[in-house]
Structure 1
Amino acid sequence: MKMQSIISAAYAALAITMATPVAAHGVGETVTPHFQQTIPNIPGKSLIALVVDYAPGGASPSHVHTKSAFIFGYVLSGKIESHVNDGPRRVYRTGESFYETPGSRHPVSRNASKSKPAKLLAVFVVDTDEKELTTSVEQDPSSRSKR
């Protein structure tokens, strides 16, 4: 097999993988990889973009982000309620953005509406060799989302 064919097959497999939604992690949540690229002028770092779709009332489980990940969040549609570390809970609306520092604890990330869907773009700057962007954690009862 020619090298060009091998490279073309690898790119095709990557494109199919990137276009396929990841299994839902939370109730009413679907995470879809959108973009992944190493950052040429920052050795060892990559940029990863994910689209998080929340059904009405959908939520992500409580989680922590990998220690290497700086995250930029942008609300594409709807309203997203978020609580990061010891900061206040906040509802972000379409067009609003926020960031999370490396290793952040994210006890609440959910659709603020029980009747309309919401969509979030999450962009990670992360160590290229990082395998898991988030790890689910048990919630402290005092930080549970009130529905």
Structure 2
Amino acid sequence: MIPVRFAGGFLAVGLLAACTPSAERVTGTVPVAATASQPPSETVTPLVEQVLPNAEGKTFTSAIVDFPPSARAVPHRHGEAFVYAYVLEGTFRSQLGGEPVRTYHQGENWVEPPGAHHVLTENTSRTEPAKLLVVFISNTGDEIKVDDPPG
């Protein structure tokens, strides 16, 4: 078992062998609760967390992020992680601090530089789910998602 760091603590997840002996596959889900006053939110399913052998102090993490219809992530940051997001299904509206809102469809992608403030991530459909593949290159041991404090 290894910990995968997400906002609010650790998720202990089991390891399964992947295609190569050096790769580790991580399974489990991290649902993000919604309240009556908030739209539904995303569910994160970690896939792989692997220390990079050729980049000292860096870790590769990937996850599938499922958004139910009308779901919206709370504004957040990914610390000093470099983030790559690829739209597997559906359509997303996304906005980083200081940039315009952009719409991304299945097969499109975006990147977030270290320290970026992700102020908007939402599934644009009221009837269909949407799904992202997200890849993080982070400092080993860092949390990879930190929600903004309320207020």
What TM-score do the two structures reach when normalised by structure 1?
0.79
Aligned to 2:144: 133
Whether 1:65 aligns to 2:78 is: yes
The equivalent residue for 1:6 is none
**Structure 1: gaps of 5 or more residues:** 1-11, 141-147
Deviation at 1:25, TM superposition (A): 5.3
Name the CA distance, whole Å, in 2 between partners of 1:28 and 1:13.
24
Q: Of residues 133, 137, 140 in structure 2, which corresponds to 1:121?
A: 133
* 8 Å Cα contact 2:49-2:60 kept in structure 1: yes
Counterpart-to-counterpart distance in 2, 1:13 and 1:77: 26
Superposed CA deviations along residues 78-133 of structure 1, whole A, max 9, x for unmatched, are 00110012111011000001100001101101101111110011100001121x21
Partner of 2:63: 50
The residue number in structure 2 matching 1:13 is 14
In the alignment, does 2:101 pair up with 1:89? yes
Secondary structure of residue in 2 paired with 1:95 = coil
Structure with greater strand percent: 2
Q: Which has the higher helix share?
A: 1
Q: What's the C-alpha RMSD, in Å, of the aligned pairs? A: 1.9
TM-score w.r.t. length of structure 2: 0.77
Percent identity between matched residues is: 35
3-state DSSP of counterpart to 1:107: strand
Largest Rg, 1 or 2: 1
* Counterpart in the other structure of 1:78: 90
Does residue 29 of structure 1 match 2:42? yes
Q: 3-state DSSP class of the match of 2:14?
A: helix
**Aligned length in residues:** 126
Q: Secondary structure at the match of 2:30?
A: coil
Report runs of 4+ in structure 1 exceeding 6 Å deviation.
Answer: none
Give the counterpart of 2:119 among 107, 111, 126.
107
